[in-house]
Structure 1
C-alpha cells in the first residue's frame, strides 16, 4: 500500500491531498468534497476505506487552500464556484495521470454535494481520462451545460428522505446523454447518517465501479 500526503499544483496554488493506493490497484478514485467540507470528511473517508478494500486507490484532496477555506467560512462564495472547483479537479486528474502509482489506472471521480457538480465539469473537460463519475448526495444541477457534455457513465446516489436533492438529481439525470443510474438509499437523509446508509453508498459505488471496469476490459 502506498500512502502519503501529496501536493497538487493548480491555479498557481498548492492543493493538499491524501493518496492511498493498494497493490495491486484496479483503478484510482478522486474525491471531490462538498460545500464546507474537506479531505478529512469522515463520510468520504469511510467510503474511501471501503473502496480500497476492493482494490481501488483513492485521492482525497482539498480543492481550496487553507487561506481560501478561511475566506470561504466568512463569504461561503468559493464552495459554490463550480468552474473554479472543476478546474482544480482537472488539475488533480492531470497530476494522477503523471503520478507513477496511478498513471496507468482507470480514473473514477467521486463527488459529494457541490463536489459532484465539480466532478461532472471535470469529466466533461477530461473525457478521455475519466472512466465514470459517482455522486453522493450531490448537486449535479450546478454543473450547468457540462451535464450535456459528460460522456462517462454517471451513478447518482441520493437519500430517500433528501427530497429536494432527490428532485434535483432526477431533473439532472434527464439531461445526461451518457449512461446513468439513480440509486436511492431508503430512509437516508442528506448526510447518510442513518445506520447502514453509508455502507449502502459504498456497496453501490463499488458495484458500479466493478461493472464499469468489467465493461472497459471487454
Structure 2
C-alpha cells in the first residue's frame, strides 16, 4: 500500500513535540501512539506495530511526549515517565492538533498505548471523548488511569503477555472499572515487552482488527 510520510512539530501542553506521521493512500482511520516508560517515537516495537497498521489502511502518529530536555532529565530520574497527567495532557493537545490541522482529513482517531503510555491514552480518551473512538493497550498499566477509567467512552482492548502475571492482574482490575466496551486478551507465551517470536505480530493483528471494527465512520442521523 502507498504510504506518505511526513514530519511534524506539534504544539501541546505549552511545548513543541516532534512527531512522525504516516498516511496511507486509502485511509480507514488514524492511530496516535503513546509510548511507555523511557521510550520515544523511535521505539522499535511501536514502529513495527505502526507499519502493520499502515498496511491495513490506518494512518499513524508517533510522537515524543517529552521534550529533549525533559527526556534527558527523565533518563536520570525516571520521574516524568510516570507523570500520567502530564503525558495525557500532551496526548490531548496532540488530539486537538489532529482535529484542527486534519492531516488525516475527517478519519476517525484511535489511541495505541504501551506501558505507562496506556494509562495516559485512557486519561486522554476520557478528556476527549468526541475525538477518540477506540483504544488499544499493549502490556499497559491501565490501572494508573485511576478515576478516569469509568469516564472512558472509547472501545478499549487490553493486550497482555501470558507470562506477565503481575500486569495481567492489574489489567483485570482496570477492566472491571471500565464502563465502555472493553476486552482483555492474553497473548500466550509473551513477556512484558513481547520480544518472543511472533508475539508482537499477534499484538499488531489484534490492534488492526480492533481499530477496523471501531474506527468505522458513524452513520449520519436522518
Post-superposition shift, 1:74? Answer: 1.1
* 1:85 and 2:95 aligned: no
How many residue pairs were aligned?
A: 218
Q: Could you tell me which runs of 5 or more consecutive residues in structure 2 were left unpaired when the two chains were aligned.
A: none
The 3-state SS of whatever aligns with 1:24 is: coil
In structure 2, C-alpha distance between the alignment counterparts of 1:59 and 1:86, rounded to whole Å? 15
| 1:36-185 mapped onto 2 (5 Å cutoff) | 36-185=38-187
CA RMSD of aligned residues (A): 1.3
Q: TM-score, normalised by structure 2?
A: 0.95
Post-superposition shift, 1:100? Answer: 3.4
Structure 1 segments of 4 or more deviating over 6 A? none
Post-superposition shift, 1:19? Answer: 0.5
Deviates more, 1:97-106 or 1:54-63: 97-106
Q: 2:20 aligns with which of 18, 21, 35?
A: 18
Post-superposition shift, 1:103? Answer: 3.8
Q: Deviations over 1:125-178 (max 9, x none)?
A: 000110100000000000011101101110000000000011100000000000
Deviates more, 1:72-81 or 1:93-102: 93-102
Q: Could you tell me which runs of 5 or more consecutive residues in structure 1 were left unpaired when the two chains were aligned.
A: none
